[in-house]
Amino acid sequence: MGHWCRICDRNRANEKFSAKGRKNHICKDCAKKPKEEIEIIDQEQEIFRYLQQSNISAKNLSRLERLTKSQNQRIAELATIVLEVGRIKPNKRQRLKFLAKEHRELLQELDDAGLIMAHDW
């Protein structure tokens, strides 16, 4: 049946995983990547997850604040946008509609950063 790798985000054959890799959802190929690279991918997915949650908590916001200071420009950028969204509209319900009405530029930034998809509308 294979196993899912969280880093390359796909199902791979069982033999592509060590026992430890299976547990951590990381295949042998990805496990060879530099630690920083793995960390960046994890952080990017983490930021995307905050937007999918029904609510962005205060704890999430302080985590995002830390991520805005990332050495990685993409992570810092994504975190800055999602942090702003979380402050303005932590609750996911009607968020995009609200942003479209009241915070058009922020919605545009979300879109430009690839943080929202057409089907989110």
Where do contacts with Zn ion occur on this chain (CB under 5 A)?
Answer: 5, 7-8, 27, 30
**Least Cβ distance, residue 37 to Zn ion (angstroms):** 11
Beta bridge partners of 5: 10
**Separation between Cα atoms, residue 97 and residue 99, nearest integer Å:** 5
| Between 27 and 79, CB nearer to Zn ion | 27
**Least Cβ distance, residue 112 to Zn ion (angstroms):** 28
| Between 5 and 47, CB nearer to Zn ion | 5
| Between 28 and 87, CB nearer to Zn ion | 28
**Least Cβ distance, residue 66 to Zn ion (angstroms):** 26
Burial (CB count within 10 angstroms: exposed 0-12, middle 13-18, buried 19+), residue 24: middle
Q: What are phi and psi of 31, to 5 degrees?
A: -65, -20
